[in-house]
Amino acid sequence: MKKQFLALMLAAGAAMGTAQAEDVLHIYNWNNYIAPETVKHFEADCKCKVVQDYYGAMEEMLAKLAAGAKGYDIVVPTGFALPPLIKQGLVQPLDKSKIPNLKNMNPAFMNSQFDKGNVYSVPYAFTTTLIGYNDKKIKELGIDPTSWSAIFDPKVLEKIKGKVTVLDDPKELFAAAMMYNGFNPNSTDINQWQKAKDTIIKAKPYWAAFNNQSYIKELTVGNIWLAHGYSNDMFQANTDAHTAKRPFNIAYTLQKEGNTLSVDNMMVMKGAPRPDLAFKFINFMLDGKNSSELTNMIGSGNPNAAAAQFVSPDIKKINAVFPTADNMKKLYQLNSLEGKPLRDLNRLWTEVKTAR
């Protein structure tokens, strides 16, 4: 009898442990892309636990999910990664009746070419690719940072030779050169790409480096004065400069010719163990105050119109974080490339990198 009672108690305990373990939301996300206090607030609100797994690139995320990785409830992909996830049947349509806070979204960020009607996705945050700069040096030299001429015009670059870096990324650098020449960055016209290549090669001798990794630090310590990079990184560089009490700021702004935009989106996995928690989380993150916490932490662009009132005034006035209607007309989400256009870009990139 005692043995039966003990067995029943152990079984009950195991069942309770299983039930508790199941009150877990699994998110597959970029690193450092949810404010810690936001996670704590959601866990208290849903009486559950949030477990995050991280990726460093979209290709890594897509490959892992395509290979059959399971157990995730939510994934946060960039725009161009949405179509393959949808096509492969890896995500489920959103139950919008469970996301009343969708009303808070800025319409300008909805209904993208990657998911018409937002059937599967809702925007979470965004970055823009732009120019960040040492405000003191660039003002002294009379350079206009609101134009891509700051990294492409040899007459301008003569003033800052060796103090400029650009992204070591063919899509982003060619997009900037395309916009500088008045072309749509999503064009695959080979003649336009040739002109963009020529623009890059003429400017290349004035650049210190192609740099994806250390331009935040180089800006912060004053080794470079102007960088082509991501808005979140420029926010971090300015924060670091203030912390180090540098005698300058790292400012950043959109360019008048246009900029590229990378929108990250929340999607619910088709095999989500807890779709109920997934929809609760999405709705929670679309609350204006909750959405603002990421922007205040890392300076991310915010597609949530209700978040503006909770964002620091200094951040709110940055057009890369809250673009105006006019700004939005010149923000482009880059399409994915495949086949001949991809081969053409790779060939032109090789010509750029080997040019002397």
Point out the annotated binding site for spermidine. 169-172
Q: Which residues neighbour 294 within 8 Å (Cβ) at sequence distance 6 or greater?
A: 33, 34, 35, 38, 125, 300, 302
d(CA 308, CA 321): 10
Residue 334: CB atoms within 10 A of its CB come to: 18
Nearest to 53 by CA among 30, 35, 70: 30
Nearest to 255 by CA among 143, 340, 344, 339: 143
d(CA 243, CA 245): 5
Secondary-structure percent of the chain, ordered helix, strand, coil, rounded to 5:
50, 15, 30
d(CA 318, CA 324): 10
Nearest to 232 by CA among 322, 330, 126, 124: 126
Sign of the C-alpha dihedral computed for residues 180, 182, 185 and 189 taken in this order: negative
**Annotated binding site, which residues?**
169-172
